[in-house]
């Protein structure tokens, strides 16, 4: 078993997973548990430190989320972030009030005592760096024994500490990319304050997962759905490494794929995984059920249920199948359901939330606790080709959620042609490898145009290209104008039915990466 160095107690922040990710980047293994986890269950994991996450609630709400107070008596360091700071302030006898000035966004951090007499939390950090605030409540009075270790223009208590009790708290979010040197603060807490020395490596995780899969599966068979993306490919490779021919890989063509994708998946799988792939043609079934459906959540649910139906039909053709494997990742989970805490649902994912009652399978989700970049590292460990591992993410619902409105064959064909031009140009320019995700969205908004001497009234395509590390946050890619112009010109000239191309310059948050 992996030694758990840091436990993160989740109070519902959308950024909770990023805390774990930042620590894992430093090879510090941590686990995320619900905020209400009993202290004896935490002690069983023998952590060296605890982090209380942020959250959307207020400490003075009637149903405010509370931590087991015995956590503070475990004798290990505690770090509170945002709501976690306010929780610490109240739990130790201080007070929190609703702030007259809500602080959201960037703030400049002033480290008390800089440079010679600073808190261990800020070791090697520069002064006056930018951090990310996101709060409406603020600490009004400090508990006894606490001192201020950093301030900002609107937060006199931007960071506080009780060195004797080894309890620390930050009003800002060090885990997000917007917080400069926030990773250093988390590293300082884990290594300098908690004394973490163990290094967690992906090869250790891979070995443990393979052993766990073998033990759980026994002599049963596992049905694994392939999409051709990195997540499902890594899952299939892990399973094949663990159980060999007990794996039954199935690729379902749902009619919502990019141009030539079915052929690419079959070729790559045959060459690299060297296991027999079953391809199911379910185009008519999916498109029939999606006909006339325009609501994005309904689209996702229909696609998810239809995938399960197709897998069940295929499973009946084989004896001994007990498990269904999926490439569920951490970001899928946090955006879909509150798994570890009271997180807000952003949008459902077709592969999150378990199986229908009528389906007699057990789920295997070996990547459920990983971020995309960690999955790619696993892929390299398994020997998968770089072209497969570094492929941009592609959503399970496919092009259905990149068409605004109902899904039909003409619109799918239109979008495929625009999408392949976008990807070709990005690869030719070198920007495909520099960006996290790129795709076209068919807006189904028509406008007047002029082509030659003729008036047109055709569709609009939106180009979306983002830069990200883990998909939890993202910024639009600042592509060169000549590249954008070339993409636009080719789409309009080569795709009959499109006369306008726009570029999405929104970031996540507040937008999501996908439009639906």
* Binding-site sequence positions for ATP: 227-233
Q: Residue 252's closest CA among 291, 297, 306, 299?
A: 306
Backbone phi, then psi, for 219, in 5-degree steps?
-100, 15
* Active-site residue, selected from the candidate residues 30, 82, 125, 194: 82
Which two three-digit tokens encode residue 82?
A: 């945002």
Q: Which two tokens stand for residue 487?
A: 């993409």
Other beta carbons less than 10 A from residue 337's beta carbon: 15
CA–CA separation, 109 vs 158, rounded Å?
8
- Candidates 435, 439, 438, 441; CA nearest to 468 is 435
Is 175 one of the annotated active-site residues of the chain? yes
Helices assigned H by DSSP within 218-260: 230-243
Which residues fall in the annotated binding site?
A: 227-233
Question: What is the spatial order of strands in the sheet that 247-253 belongs to?
Answer: 278-281, 247-253, 221-226, 321-325, 362-364
| Strand, coil or helix: 203 | helix
> CB-based contacts of 274: which residues, under 8 Å, 6+ apart?
none
DSSP state of 157: E
Tell me if 143 sits within 8 A of 89, measured CB to CB: yes
Query: Burial level of 178, CB count in 10 A (0-12/13-18/19+)?
Result: middle
Q: Which of 135, 173, 349, 350 is catalytic?
A: 173
3-state helix, strand, coil in the chain (%, to 5): 35, 25, 40
Q: Could you give the CA distance from residue 179 to residue 182 in angstroms, rounded to a whole number?
A: 5
- For CA atoms 442, 445, 448, 453, the dihedral sign is positive
Q: How many CB atoms lie within 10 A of CB 187?
A: 20
Count of all residues that appear for the chain in the document: 516
Q: Rounded to an integer, what is the distance from CA 177 to the centroid of its chain? A: 14
In the chain, the N- to C-terminal Cα span, in Å, equals: 39
Residues 6+ apart with CB under 8 A from 372: 230, 231, 329, 331, 393, 470, 471
Of the listed 30, 103, 125, 175, which one is catalytic?
175
C-alpha to C-alpha distances, 184 to 4, 80, 98, 134, nearest whole angstrom? 20, 16, 30, 20
Q: Which helix (H) or strand (E) holds 209?
A: helix 202-217
Asked if residues 207 and 175 have their Cβ atoms less than 8 Å apart, the reply is no
Q: Say whether 365 sits in a helix, a strand or coil.
A: coil
CB 30 within 8 Å of CB 191: no
SS3 state at 1: coil
For residue 347, CA distances in Å to 82, 384, 437, 444, 470 come to 24, 31, 18, 22, 17
Active site (catalytic) residues: 82, 173, 175
């Amino acid at each position: 078993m992996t030694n758990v160095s840091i436990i993160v107690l989740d109070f519902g922040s959308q950024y909770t997973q990023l805390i774990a990710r930042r620590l894992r980047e430093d090879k510090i293994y941590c686990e995320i548990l619900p905020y209400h986890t009993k202290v004896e269950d935490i002690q069983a994991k023998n952590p060296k430190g605890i982090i209380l996450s942020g959250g959307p609630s207020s400490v003075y709400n009637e149903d405010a989320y509370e931590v087991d107070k015995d956590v503070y008596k475990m004798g290990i360091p505690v770090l509170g972030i945002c709501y976690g700071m306010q929780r610490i302030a109240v739990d130790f006898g201080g007070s929190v009030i609703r702030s007259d000035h809500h602080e959201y966004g960037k703030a400049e951090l002033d480290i008390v005592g800089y440079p010679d007499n600073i808190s261990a939390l800020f070791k090697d950090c520069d002064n006056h760096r930018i951090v990310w605030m996101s709060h409406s409540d603020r600490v009004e009075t400090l508990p006894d024994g606490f001192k201020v270790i950093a301030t900002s223009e609107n937060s006199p208590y931007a960071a506080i500490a009780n060195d004797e009790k080894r309890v620390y708290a930050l009003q800002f979010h060090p885990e997000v990319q917007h917080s400069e040197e926030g990773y250093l603060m988390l590293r300082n807490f884990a290594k300098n304050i908690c004394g973490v020395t163990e290094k967690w490596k992906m090869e250790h995780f891979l070995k443990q997962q393979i052993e766990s899969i073998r033990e759980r599966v026994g002599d049963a068979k596992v049905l694994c759905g392939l999409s051709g993306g990195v997540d499902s490919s890594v899952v299939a490779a892990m399973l094949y490494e663990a159980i060999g021919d007990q794996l039954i890989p199935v690729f379902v063509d749902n009619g919502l794929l990019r141009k030539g994708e079915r052929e690419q998946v079959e070729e790559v799988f045959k060459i690299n995984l060297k296991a027999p792939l079953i391809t199911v043609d379910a185009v008519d079934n999916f498109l029939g059920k999606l006909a006339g459906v325009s609501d994005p959540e309904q689209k996702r649910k229909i696609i998810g249920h239809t995938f399960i139906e197709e897998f069940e039909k295929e499973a009946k053709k084989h004896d001994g199948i007990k498990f269904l494997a999926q490439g569920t990742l951490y970001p899928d989970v946090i955006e879909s359901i509150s798994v570890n805490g009271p997180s807000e649902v952003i949008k459902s994912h077709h592969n999150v939330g378990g199986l229908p009652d009528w389906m007699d399978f057990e789920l295997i989700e070996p990547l459920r606790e990983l971020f995309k970049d960690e999955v790619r590292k696993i892929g390299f460990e398994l020997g998968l080709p770089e072209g497969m591992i570094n492929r941009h993410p592609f959503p399970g619902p496919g092009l259905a959620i990149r068409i605004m409105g109902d899904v039909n064959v003409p619109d799918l064909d239109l979008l495929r042609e625009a999408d392949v031009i976008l990807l070709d140009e990005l690869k030719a320019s070198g920007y495909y490898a520099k960006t996290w995700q790129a795709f076209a969205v068919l807006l189904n908004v028509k406008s007047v145009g002029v082509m030659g001497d003729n008036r047109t009234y055709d569709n609009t395509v939106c180009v979306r290209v983002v830069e990200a590390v883990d998909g939890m946050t993202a910024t639009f890619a600042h592509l060169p104008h000549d590249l954008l112009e070339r993409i636009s010109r080719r789409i309009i000239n080569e795709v009959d039915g499109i006369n306008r191309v726009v570029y999405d310059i929104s970031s996540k948050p507040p937008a999501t990466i996908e439009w639906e």
